[in-house]
Amino acid sequence: MKKKILVTRNLLPENEERIKKLFDVKLNKQEKVYTSEEILELSKDCDGILCIGGNKFDADIFSKISSTVKIIASYSVGYNNIDIDAASKKGIVVTNTPEVLTDSTADIAILLLLGASRRAYEARKFAEEQKWIWATDFLLGKQMSGSNLGILGMGRIGRAIAERARGFGMKIHYHNRTKLSADLEQGATYHDNIKSLFNKSDFLSINCPATKDTAKIVNEETINYLPNGAVVSNTARGDVVDDEAMIKALKNGKIFALGLDVYNGEPKIHPDYLKLQNLFLLPHLGSATLKTRIAMGNRSIDNLENFFQNKRPKDQLN
Residue numbers at the binding site for ligand 8YV (CB under 6 A): 52-53, 75-78, 101, 286-287
Phi, psi of 281 (to 5 degrees): -110, 140
Percentages of the chain per state (helix, strand, coil), in multiples of 5: 35, 15, 45
Cβ at position 79, least distance to ligand 8YV in Å: 8
Cβ at position 213, least distance to ligand 8YV in Å: 18
Cβ at position 27, least distance to ligand 8YV in Å: 16
Which residue has the closest beta carbon to ligand 8YV? 53
Q: Where are the alpha helices (DSSP H) in the chain?
A: 13-22, 36-42, 59-64, 84-89, 102-117, 120-128, 156-167, 182-185, 194-200, 220-223, 243-252, 290-308
Residues 315 and 303 sit within 8 Å (Cβ to Cβ): yes
Question: Residue 216 and residue 232: Cα distance in Å, rounded?
Answer: 15
Please identify, using beta-carbon distances, which residue of 197 and 296 lies nearer to ligand 8YV.
296
Please identify, using beta-carbon distances, which residue of 52 and 73 lies nearer to ligand 8YV.
52
Looking at the chain, how many residues does it have? 318
Cβ at position 270, least distance to ligand 8YV in Å: 18
Which residues have a Cβ under 8 Å from the Cβ of 63 and sit 6 or more positions away?
86, 90
Question: Residue 18 and residue 10: Cα distance in Å, rounded?
Answer: 13
- Residue 191 appears among annotated catalytic residues: no
Which listed residue (16, 185, 220, 266) is catalytic?
Answer: 266
Residues 178 and 186 sit within 8 Å (Cβ to Cβ): no
Cβ at position 225, least distance to ligand 8YV in Å: 26
Question: Residue 293 and residue 305: Cα distance in Å, rounded?
Answer: 18
Please identify, using beta-carbon distances, which residue of 118 and 293 lies nearer to ligand 8YV.
293
- Residue 159 appears among annotated catalytic residues: no
Residues 113 and 145 sit within 8 Å (Cβ to Cβ): no
Which listed residue (118, 159, 173, 237) is catalytic?
Answer: 237
Which listed residue (156, 164, 166, 284) is catalytic?
Answer: 284
Please identify, using beta-carbon distances, which residue of 69 and 82 lies nearer to ligand 8YV.
82
- Residue 173 appears among annotated catalytic residues: no
Please identify, using beta-carbon distances, which residue of 23 and 75 lies nearer to ligand 8YV.
75
Amino acid sitting at position 34: Y
Q: Which residues belong to the active site?
A: 237, 266, 284
